[in-house]
Structure 1
Amino acid sequence: MNVTFNPTSSIKTIHEQYASISTLTTFQLQSHQSEYTFPWIAVAYIVVMIIAIPGNFLILWITLANKSMRLPIHLLVCNLAVAGLLIALIRIPIRTNQLIYPSHQYPFSMSVCRMAQIIPASCVTSISITLTAICVERYFNIIYPTNLKLRMTANKVYLLIFICWVVSTLFWTPYTTFMHMFNINNHTKACLPNWPTQPKLDIIIRNQTTNAIIHHIPFSKLIVWLLFIIFVFLIPAIVMVTLYAIIVKRLWRTPPGHRTMSMSASRSSMSGRRENNLHSENHGLKLKRRVIKICVACVILFLLTNFPYYFLLVLLDFHLIEFTDRRSVTVIADILILLNYTCIAYNAIIYGYFNKNYRRNAPKWLNLRAK
């Protein structure tokens, strides 16, 4: 389906002309019809890609090459790496091309147009589910260490990863059916969503004086945004913050070595085996704290990079905030999307470089082995 759009038309004319076939937001059109180039944003995307590709590839390599690394939590980290690689290899190059050549024709086919939407969306959803699964795995492992039924096994993780990708893909499949190729000003082709209109359910905001349509918010778009925010951001964020707060409270309740120090008076009568057990417990506590610090760091970055994306992009897309300068809208949108995609880089750094298990099993030529 090809639709011609003239951005010089009034808002009222737009909706009268296309109400039966298409609903495009001003924000989306401004983002695609802009004549400005943003090389610095493109460079930022490339930097993220340069960090993400080797970082996530190394995580997969180290995990799959070492049987001792195929633990449940490492397999979940591998799933983060797969999602990161897909975004870095497929979505970011396409977006970088659009940033460098904004006035050029969309160079790809309809299939690529839809694929470029469903893959990153599914990957972002998969990353949220996987981060939540890592949190739940750590919670059961630390809070209920003796309950074997709650322990995550490799087989459970494989099943979880399969379900994760199936759910993520099915969740975004309806949205990709809305994607179509549009001709803007009869010379620029763009890949944009064609939201179905439902007059009884759509939200229409009119000028009180002239009764002209100011904004038209399709019900279908409202539902997609609500589901996206609730299931991909809010629920994972609430679960992770709650469970990690419980874990931190448990692990930091007793300082390392406290038990050993409190029993120093009777240490002369203790057996060597008992002393070793105490030292082992304290060492295990320190290791657990280190792992949780890594996980909490990822959650904090998840919140910092996702909240602005969801909050501000919704305000822009639903016209709750307005900018007269279309360049500002385009820049803000691209920065928010870039901020959201940085997870594919910082996940690789935090779970890879700052994880002693990965550094210990890294190839010798990388000189990253933990000492």
Structure 2
Amino acid sequence: MTMNVTFNPTSSIKTIHEQYASISTLTTFQLQSHQSEYTFPWIAVAYIVVMIIAIPGNFLILWITLANKSMRLPIHLLVCNLAVAGLLIALIRIPIRTNQLIYPSHQYPFSMSVCRMAQIIPASCVTSISITLTAICVERYFNIIYPTNLKLRMTANKVYLLIFICWVVSTLFWIPYTTFMHIFNINNHTKACLPNWPTQPKLDIIIRNQTTNAIIHHIPFSKLIVWLLFIIFVFLIPAIVMVTLYAIIIKRLWRTPPGHRTMSMSASRSSMSGRRENNLHSENHGLKLKRRVIKICVACVILFLLTNFPYYFLLVLLDFHLIQFTDRRSVTVIADILILLNYTCIAYNAIIYGYFNKNYRRNAPKWLNLRAK
């Protein structure tokens, strides 16, 4: 099914919305970003760089984890789930988006099925990444704050079940949105895969000019609900949970400096048994390892906040016309940069959880020369 839309770049915002409010809820922002005649090779190059880092990085995480039984710990299995989501985005979504950036005026070359698949896969992956990062945080929290409570401890079987539920929920969450996707003929010479939001006259938000009563902005209720659910469940809740739990973990781990107990008992060391002293050294070593793991996790959370907040905040403002630009090129560039920023998680997750994790470096293939000393 292909829908025809005529778009005149010189039309005013008021004219555009009057023309489409009754037949379609395509926004000016969406039309501009797909109709633009500008090419952005530097953004395409940035996407390619992310893809070049993400594919081998995430593949190595999967390879190292699955090839070594000792690596199949709950936290490593969750990192594997991050790697799977990253690979799907890098192999499916980024190549399509790169092609659109290099050849923006070309016809959309794929079918309706591919149009919808190219939306549900990255959306489900981004949702899965948020859930998995939250699960890693909860796993670390229970492991450090309640180390003796076996019921709260994550096991491999629990992780497998969690991963299955994670993907089912992520996919079901985005199925309604993908049904809105259609292939449009713009100006009868360009095809684009865009959402056609259902209209609800009693629920849609319509902003009119007070003088002429003409429609200035038409915000479909369906779009508002999708954005709200997306922001709340994929960004806000995970961000609040991770910041809160990691703050508690950091307070616990950094409350007593490493070696403090050993130093305070140095006066009685001469009478201390060898076993007791070894236990203290082992305890301090374990504390240092836990701190290192938490530093890695916190680094990912900070990057999660830095790369996601601008995406959700600014893209919502653009999509709902709360901020406007007279230059179409600026809108397109900002939107593409925000989306690229959101996708960088597939690269930095692989680097932080892979390269900076001594367990992965220790079990890496010898020819990579990454083994931890």
Aligned mates of 1:354, 1:16 — CA distance in 2 = 54
Q: CA deviation at 1:331?
A: 0.2
Equivalent in the alignment of 1:287: 289
Equivalent in the alignment of 1:247: 249
Aligned mates of 2:315, 2:114 — CA distance in 1 = 24
Secondary structure, counterpart of 1:235 in structure 2: helix
Q: CA deviation at 1:209?
A: 1.2
Match 1:23 to one of 22, 25, 40: 25
Q: CA deviation at 1:210?
A: 1.2
Counterpart contact for 2:127–2:170, Cα < 8 Å: yes
Aligned mates of 1:11, 1:291 — CA distance in 2 = 51
Aligned mates of 1:200, 1:148 — CA distance in 2 = 53
Q: CA deviation at 1:147?
A: 0.1
Q: Taking every aligned residue pair, what percent have the same amino acid on both sides?
A: 99
Counterpart contact for 1:5–1:183, Cα < 8 Å: no
Aligned mates of 1:307, 1:21 — CA distance in 2 = 33
TM-score (norm 1): 0.98
Q: CA deviation at 1:268?
A: 0.7
Question: Where does the alignment leave 5 or more consecutive residues of structure 2 unmatched?
Answer: none
CA displacement 1:175-210 (0-9 Å, x = unmatched) = 000000111111000000000011110001111111
Secondary structure, counterpart of 1:215 in structure 2: strand
Secondary structure, counterpart of 1:261 in structure 2: helix
Q: CA deviation at 1:19?
A: 3.4
Q: CA deviation at 1:211?
A: 1.1
Q: CA deviation at 1:152?
A: 0.2
Q: Which runs of 4+ in 1 moved over 3 A?
A: 1-21
Alpha-carbon RMSD across the aligned residues, in angstroms, is 1.1
Secondary structure, counterpart of 1:5 in structure 2: coil
Aligned mates of 1:134, 1:253 — CA distance in 2 = 22
CA displacement 1:135-185 (0-9 Å, x = unmatched) = 000000000000000000000000000000000000000000000011111
Counterpart contact for 2:5–2:187, Cα < 8 Å: no
Aligned mates of 1:206, 1:292 — CA distance in 2 = 51
CA displacement 1:56-76 (0-9 Å, x = unmatched) = 000000000000000000000
Counterpart contact for 1:3–1:181, Cα < 8 Å: no
Q: CA deviation at 1:306?
A: 0.2
Counterpart contact for 1:4–1:186, Cα < 8 Å: yes
Aligned mates of 2:6, 2:279 — CA distance in 1 = 74
CA displacement 1:255-281 (0-9 Å, x = unmatched) = 000000000001111100000000000
Q: CA deviation at 1:15?
A: 4.2
Q: CA deviation at 1:20?
A: 4.2
Counterpart contact for 2:18–2:214, Cα < 8 Å: no
TM-score (norm 2): 0.98
CA change 1:325–1:4 in 2 (3 A) is closer
Structure 1 window deviating more from structure 2 (205-214 vs 174-183): it is 205-214
Question: Where does the alignment leave 5 or more consecutive residues of structure 1 unmatched?
Answer: none
Q: CA deviation at 1:316?
A: 0.3
Q: CA deviation at 1:21?
A: 3.6
Aligned mates of 1:10, 1:210 — CA distance in 2 = 14
Number of equivalenced pairs: 371
Aligned mates of 1:17, 1:326 — CA distance in 2 = 19
